Amino acid sequence: MDAVSKPALAFESAFTRRSIIASYFLVIFLALPLWWKTTSIERQALPVSRVYAATGRELAFPIHVALDTRNCEVGTDTIVQEVRHHVENNGEFKQNGLSVEVSSATATANDYQVVLRPGTRDPIVDGRKVTVEVAPEHAGVAALQLADTLATLLTPYTSLRSSQAERVVTYSPRYRLAFTLLNEDAAAGNAALSWDVQNALAAQLSPLLERLSVLHNFTIESQVQYHGPLAFEPRALQVGEQIEHGLTPGDLTVFVNSAEWTLSSSVSNDPVLHFVAFIPSSKHSPLRIVDSNGLPTSSNAFILPQWGGIIIHNPQSTGIVPTLAGRPLDTIFATFRQQLSALLGVPELPPHVHARTRGVAGVTDWQLDALVRRRAAENAASAQDTLQSIVRLVAQIEDMPVGEDVKGDVQDALAALDQAYSTAPSSSTEALTFASKAQSVASRAFFNPGMLALLYFPTEHKWAVYAPLFASVTAPLLASLIREVLAWKKERKAKARGPQPVDSQRPKAE
């Protein structure tokens, strides 16, 4: 085919053509911000380096122990030296982030005071003071004995059995305590129709809750149930003349019949601790807890780890009790109190140490301080873990949106964590407050629902959606652009070679 010359047309001038192409690109260029806005996934930069910098950091609690040896013949300086030596050799303190400083200075309010006295009685705790009596014949090992006592008092958790550790509930700033009077079958006799829960709570539990208020807040609720059947049949025991019924350790683990008992509702996110007073029906009365050999034990209460406590109440006389009150109820609530403190991780005093008064709800300052330190350390570590998980997850999944709120939460958690570290030396309670805040903010960031938006839309699909339009639209646009650039270069070369008559048209293949 041969091309034939034709008249030059105004709309075919290079200028017209180039301005047309330029106008296409102009609109696309102007639309770019909108494009960007509608397709970009918000991914705020997380303070990754700060998160990793916090790794392995532990709360440090300096402990001042004032040694009072006035009543002792031993030289103050020597015994201080010796105790220091033993404390430094004891790894337990370091493990728990405690730096113990022993001195003979007089104790201030927040210091622990150790009074050394000749005698043979067991150590006695009173407030932050412990009185240790040393028999004259054991004066040589007094320092070692002292250091050991200090270790058991200041770090009571290292000696905890794992079963005891497992039943402690995870920390929460607020717990709901649900007390239930559960009659197995009230219509069949042997039941309590109501209980004087208000007074029992005031008498037995309120002091403890007050004492623990530095750690937790509590919401209290109670109910009475009249039909709470067991999911299994307790085994019958012949005890003397009587038939009794027994719960084996196996039965205890399945004791809670969650299908039939209405114990909790999901109305709030606070963890619930259940305390159930179970009154067996006349058919199963009396009900005892038996050991693995099938012999009745003296105990009538047990703890379900992380869940709560149950006490089996066999009333003195069978029949319907209109209101459970007075001594039997006090006994029940006293047990509930012990179960609660065990569930919350209040350490027990070492067996050979006695408290002078059990007046402060049975929790001495030593115990409370240890609990606060432990909860603070726990929360700080958990917050660190959560933050690291977030950072790892975000790095792993490229399409995960990270909103301003997530970033803010992570920053807040880091700030709270820093504050926890910095306040730990001066106040373990404040450290706990900050550490617990860090933990809750960090987990809020972790569970932010906005991060899940695109988890299920793989990248390949995106191309399948974009390609049909954009591949076919951009091809002619780019081709023309390249052609124009080439033509323009050629023109410039031609111009450089020599002045030629201006021809608005491109050279044609003739």
How many beta carbons lie within 10 A of that of residue 184, not counting itself? 24
Nearer to another protein, 183 or 300 (CB): 183
Nearer to another protein, 121 or 174 (CB): 174
Angle between helices 404-423 and 428-446 (to 10 degrees): 160
The Cα–Cα gap between 96 and 343 comes to 21
* Closest separation in Å from C-beta 487 to another protein: 12
The Cα–Cα gap between 462 and 175 comes to 46
Buried b (16+ CB within 10 A) or exposed e, 17-32: beeeeeeeeeeeeeee
- Span from 24-32, 42-50, 134-142, 489-497 in contact with another protein (CB under 8 A): 24-32
Under rule CB under 8 A, which residues in 153-192 are in contact with another protein?
A: 178, 185-191
* Closest separation in Å from C-beta 288 to another protein: 21
- Span from 2-10, 158-166, 287-295, 351-359 in contact with another protein (CB under 8 A): 2-10
User: What 8-state DSSP symbol labels residue 488?
Assistant: H
* Closest separation in Å from C-beta 373 to another protein: 27
* Closest separation in Å from C-beta 473 to another protein: 5
Nearer to another protein, 322 or 498 (CB): 322
Nearer to another protein, 6 or 327 (CB): 6
* Closest separation in Å from C-beta 429 to another protein: 20
- The kind and range of the H/E element at 179 are strand 174-183
Under rule CB under 8 A, which residues in 278-337 are in contact with another protein?
A: 282, 318-323
Report which of 229, 221, 291, 222 is spatially closest to residue 255, judged by C-alpha positions. Answer: 229
* Closest separation in Å from C-beta 76 to another protein: 50
Give the three-class secondary structure for 115. strand
Under rule CB under 8 A, which residues in 207-226 are in contact with another protein?
A: 217, 219-226
Nearer to another protein, 71 or 505 (CB): 505
Q: Site for another protein (CB under 8 A): which residue of 10, 45, 109, 502?
A: 10
* Closest separation in Å from C-beta 78 to another protein: 54
> How would you write 242-301 as a 3-class SS string?
EEEEEECHHHHHCCCCCCCCCCCCCCCCCCEEEEEEEECCHHHCCEEEECCCCCECCCCE
* Closest separation in Å from C-beta 204 to another protein: 14
| Residues written for the chain | 510
Size of residue set near another protein by CB under 8 A: 81
Nearer to another protein, 86 or 211 (CB): 211
* Closest separation in Å from C-beta 205 to another protein: 11
Nearer to another protein, 81 or 262 (CB): 262
* Closest separation in Å from C-beta 274 to another protein: 12
- The answer to the question of residue 11 lying near another protein (CB under 8 A) is yes
Report which of 197, 309, 325 is spatially closest to residue 256, judged by C-alpha positions. Answer: 309
- The answer to the question of residue 485 lying near another protein (CB under 8 A) is no
Give the three-class secondary structure for 302. strand
Taken in order 89, 91, 93, 98, the sign of the CA dihedral is positive
Give the three-class secondary structure for 360. coil
Structure tokens at 287: 């009900």
Nearer to another protein, 49 or 266 (CB): 266
For 416, 419, 431, the CA distances from 412, given in Å and listed in that order, are: 6, 10, 15
Q: Site for another protein (CB under 8 A): which residue of 85, 167, 227, 354?
A: 227
- Span from 3-11, 243-251, 334-342, 347-355 in contact with another protein (CB under 8 A): 3-11
Q: Would you say 173 and 111 are in contact if contact means Cβ atoms under 8 Å apart?
A: no
Q: Site for another protein (CB under 8 A): which residue of 95, 159, 265, 357?
A: 265
- The answer to the question of residue 266 lying near another protein (CB under 8 A) is yes
Nearer to another protein, 16 or 426 (CB): 16
* Closest separation in Å from C-beta 280 to another protein: 14
Strands 174-183 and 287-289, sheet pairing: unpaired
Q: Would you say 386 and 409 are in contact if contact means Cβ atoms under 8 Å apart?
A: no
Nearer to another protein, 76 or 222 (CB): 222
Q: Site for another protein (CB under 8 A): which residue of 477, 478, 482, 486?
A: 477
Buried b (16+ CB within 10 A) or exposed e, 198-233: eebbeebbebbbebbebbbebeeeeebbeebebeee
Report which of 190, 503, 149 is spatially closest to residue 350, judged by C-alpha positions. Answer: 149
* Closest separation in Å from C-beta 94 to another protein: 40
How many beta carbons lie within 10 A of that of residue 489, not counting itself? 10
Under rule CB under 8 A, which residues in 457-476 are in contact with another protein?
A: 457, 464-465, 468-469, 472-473, 475-476
Under rule CB under 8 A, which residues in 377-436 are in contact with another protein?
A: none
The Cα–Cα gap between 78 and 58 comes to 32
- Span from 29-37, 76-84, 112-120, 414-422 in contact with another protein (CB under 8 A): 29-37
- Span from 17-25, 60-68, 75-83, 366-374 in contact with another protein (CB under 8 A): 17-25
How many beta carbons lie within 10 A of that of residue 115, not counting itself? 20
The Cα–Cα gap between 138 and 154 comes to 23
* Closest separation in Å from C-beta 5 to another protein: 8
Residue type, 182: L
